[in-house]
Amino acid sequence: MTHTQIEEIDSVTSMRAYRHDSPLGEMRSLWTPQGLYSLSWISETNGGAASSITESTAAENTAARELDRQLERYFAGEPVSFDSLQVDHQGRTEFTRRVYQCCRQISFGQTSTYKELATRSGNEAASRAVGAAMSRNRVLLIIPCHRVISQHGQLRGFSAPGGLTTKQFLLDLETK
C-alpha cells in the first residue's frame, strides 16, 4: 500500500491529510501533532480535488506509513490491533473517550453489543449513547465500530460509504 500526502489542511494545528488504498476504495487520514484525527473512506462528496495531491517526501508522516502497513495487513485478513496508533480525541466528551477506548479493546474477529460496550464504559444504561458515539466515530477501523452489533446479533447502522454492506464486509474479512 502506498499513501500520498494530499495537503496541509490547517497550518495553525499542523493538520495533514493522506490518502490510503483499500479494497473498498481510497481512504483519507487526517493527522494532528496529537495523533490520528480521522480515517474514513473518500466518497464523491467528501473527497479532495485531484489537483491538490502532492507526492510524499522523506519528511512524510511516519505514523501514516505505519497506518499503511497495518491497513495492508488488515485487508489481507491478518489480525491487526492498531494499538500503536495514537488517536487525537479533541472535541470528545470523557464518556465518548471511554466508549472508544473500550471499543478499541474488541479483538479482531470478535463483536460486542451496544449494551456490553455501555457496561464496560461505566454506564450499563447508556446503550443509545454508545450507538450515538459509534455514529460519530471519525476514526474508522482504528476504533472498530463495525464490531458493535445489536443485542440480538443484528447489524445496526454504519455511516461509512456502503453502510451495512461495508460493515458486513469488514466482519466477514475478520472471520475468514
115 and 162 belong to one structural domain: yes
Q: Would you say the pTM of this structure is higher than 0.85?
A: no
Active site residue 103: no
CATH classification of the domain holding 151: 1.10.10.10
Strand 27-32, strand 35-41: pairing: antiparallel
**C-alpha distances in Å from residue 41, one per residue of 4, 15, 99, 125:** 15, 18, 22, 32
What is the per-residue pLDDT for 49?
Answer: 38
Mean pLDDT (10-residue bins), the chain, 176 residues = 49 74 92 91 55 35 87 95 93 95 96 95 93 94 94 82 89 93
Q: How many domains does the chain have?
A: 2
Contact 5, 63 (CB under 8 A): no
**Residue 132 to residue 22: CA distance in whole angstroms:** 26
Catalytic entry in 129, 142, 145, 160: 145
What is the per-residue pLDDT for 50?
Answer: 37
Task: For residue 134, give its domain range.
Answer: 94-175
- How many Cβ atoms from other residues are within 10 Å of residue 139's Cβ? 23
100 and 169 belong to one structural domain: yes
User: Which of 75, 102, 133 lies at the terminal end of a domain, its last residue?
Assistant: 75
What is the per-residue pLDDT for 102?
Answer: 97
